[in-house]
């Protein structure tokens, strides 16, 4: 708990998943939702996780939130080994270490409570005084730009405003990690922009590590790093730090997309490249005199 208040360096891993598997067993079949997923997110980073429907994005986020447990592999968030937590530790972890924002604002907010009451609710279980709760909730409301809506119930707020209150609720116990599962999925473009701008501001100003799961290309282009999940594995990574610097200098954006090699040396060759190539079921890997890696088909 105290660890989140320590100053963390940018290059220290905050989230580290290695060889993560999640198998859902239903009465007649097993679904492998994550198959050896690997992911590292550093402190104070903001990253997007993108991928087709059913690729395992929400499964991963639920595990990182401590709502669900992986079937195998390791997952470390800060000093917490999420596989070895007792039930009591998991409660503390969910309460103080992570904030979670769902796609539907009505999953994040109690309909009969006002904006300010919703923000104060998670604080009730921490040992904050009434005064501290009051000050902190007013501050969070101001940060999300909704001081003038403090007494509005969710139904009296627009979708974008509801999501901004949800972000304040997610931050109410000062988590070091904020997770958002398709936070703009139900918003129009302008409200979606506001929510993303807010997340970027939070990341910059408070230093919260943020992971946003999305289908939305808008999110994709507003974070430094976007990681693609394919069939339950992290597959490619788009590094846009260059894009940001270029924006400032008004140079046209250039996006670098990389394939990810996991800790066992596996790499997913994109289907379109594979079907366009001569590669069959078996390949021979080699190295040229210049040190370039080559793949040669064997059949
Ligand atoms: N509780 C569950 N029981 C059985 N199967 C599940 C369960 N939750 C998810 N799955 C399956 O696991 C796979 C990954 O699901 P997940 O919800 O993580 O996908 P997703 O990438 O979030 O998709 P979407 O973009 O549609 O939200 C899917 O095939 C899904 O049907
Ligand atoms: Mg999902």
Q: Identify which ligand lies nearest to the alpha carbon of 50.
A: 1
Q: From first to last of its 299 residues, what are the pLDDT tens digits of the chain?
A: 445 445 556 678 999 999 999 999 988 899 999 999 999 999 999 999 998 899 999 999 999 999 999 999 999 999 999 998 888 999 999 999 999 999 888 889 999 999 999 999 999 988 889 999 999 999 999 999 999 999 999 999 999 999 999 999 999 999 999 999 999 888 888 888 888 889 999 999 999 999 999 877 667 667 778 899 998 998 888 776 544 444 455 555 556 778 888 877 888 887 777 888 877 778 888 888 888 888 887 76
Q: To test the ligand 1 pocket, which listed residue (26, 28, 31) has its Cβ within 8 A of the most ligand atoms?
A: 31
Is residue 195 left, alpha or beta, with left meaning phi > 0 and alpha meaning psi from -120 to 50? alpha
Q: Of 99, 134, 133, 125, give the one whose Cα is nearest residue 4.
A: 99
**57 alpha carbon to ligand 2 midpoint, in Å?**
6
Structural fold of domain 3-267: Rossmann fold (3.40.50)
Report the pLDDT value the prediction gives residue 177, as an integer from 0 to 100.
Answer: 97
**257 alpha carbon to ligand 2 midpoint, in Å?**
23
From atom 3 of ligand 1, which residue's Cα is the shortest distance away?
24
Angle at 130 between CA 126 and CA 161, to 5 degrees: 80
Query: What stretches of 72-201 adopt beta strand conformation (E)?
Result: 72-77, 80-81, 98-101, 177-181
From atom 11 of ligand 1, which residue's Cα is the shortest distance away?
33
Q: Identify which ligand lies nearest to the alpha carbon of 52.
A: 1
The distance of Cα 280 from the centroid of its chain, to the nearest Å, equals 36
Report the pLDDT value the prediction gives residue 99, as an integer from 0 to 100.
Answer: 95
**86 alpha carbon to ligand 2 midpoint, in Å?**
26
Stretch(es) of the chain classified as CATH 3.40.50.300? 3-267
**236 alpha carbon to ligand 1 midpoint, in Å?**
20
Report the pLDDT value the prediction gives residue 241, as an integer from 0 to 100.
Answer: 53
Concatenated DSSP letters for 219-279? HHTTSSEEEEEETTEEEEEEE-HHHHHHHHTTPPP--EEEE-B-TTS-BPPPHHHHHHSS-
Ligand 1 cavity residues, CB under 6 Å: 24, 26, 31, 33, 51, 53-59
Q: CA-CA distance, 261 to 271, in Å (whole number)?
A: 16
Q: Of 249, 270, 271, 245, give the one whose Cα is nearest residue 259.
A: 270
**165 alpha carbon to ligand 2 midpoint, in Å?**
21
Report the pLDDT value the prediction gives residue 243, as an integer from 0 to 100.
Answer: 42
Q: CA-CA distance, 247 to 5, in Å (whole number)?
A: 33
Q: Identify which ligand lies nearest to the alpha carbon of 51.
A: 1
Atom of ligand 1 nearest to the CA of 56: 18
Atom of ligand 1 nearest to the CA of 32: 12
**126 alpha carbon to ligand 1 midpoint, in Å?**
32
Is residue 231 left, alpha or beta, with left meaning phi > 0 and alpha meaning psi from -120 to 50? left
Report the pLDDT value the prediction gives residue 9, as an integer from 0 to 100.
Answer: 63
| Burial group, residue 271, by CB count within 10 angstroms (0-12, 13-18, 19+) | exposed
Atom of ligand 1 nearest to the CA of 232: 14
């Amino acid at each position: 708990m105290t660890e989140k208040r320590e100053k963390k360096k940018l290059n220290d891993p905050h989230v580290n998943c290695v060889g993560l598997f999640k198998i859902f067993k239903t009465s007649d079949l097993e679904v492998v939702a994550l198959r050896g997923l690997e992911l590292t997110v550093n402190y104070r980073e903001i990253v997007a996780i993108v991928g087709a429907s059913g690729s395992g994005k929400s499964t991963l986020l639920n595990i990182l939130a401590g709502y669900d447990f992986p079937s195998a592999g390791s997952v470390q968030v800060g000093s917490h080994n999420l596989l070895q937590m007792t039930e009591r530790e998991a409660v503390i972890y969910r309460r103080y270490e992570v904030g979670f924002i769902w796609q539907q604002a009505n999953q994040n907010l109690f309909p009969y409570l006002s904006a300010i009451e919703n923000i104060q609710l998670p604080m009730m279980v921490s040992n904050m005084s009434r005064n501290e709760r009051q000050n902190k909730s007013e501050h969070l409301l101001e940060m999300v730009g909704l001081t003038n809506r403090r007494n509005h119930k969710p139904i009296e707020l627009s979708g974008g405003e509801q999501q901004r209150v949800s972000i304040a609720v997610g931050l109410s116990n000062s988590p070091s990690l904020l997770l958002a599962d398709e936070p703009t999925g139900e918003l129009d473009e302008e409200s979606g922009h506001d929510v993303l701008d807010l997340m970027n501001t939070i990341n910059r100003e408070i230093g919260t590590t943020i992971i946003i799961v999305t289908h939305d290309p808008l999110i994709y282009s507003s974070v430094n790093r976007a990681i693609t999940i394919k069939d339950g594995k992290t597959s490619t990574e788009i590094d846009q730090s260059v894009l940001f610097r270029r924006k400032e200098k008004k140079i046209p954006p250039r996006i670098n997309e990389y394939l990810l090699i996991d800790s066992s040396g596996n790499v997913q060759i994109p289907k379109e490249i594979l079907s366009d190539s001569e590669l069959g079921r078996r390949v021979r890997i080699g190295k040229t005199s210049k040190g370039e890696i080559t793949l040669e088909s064997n059949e």
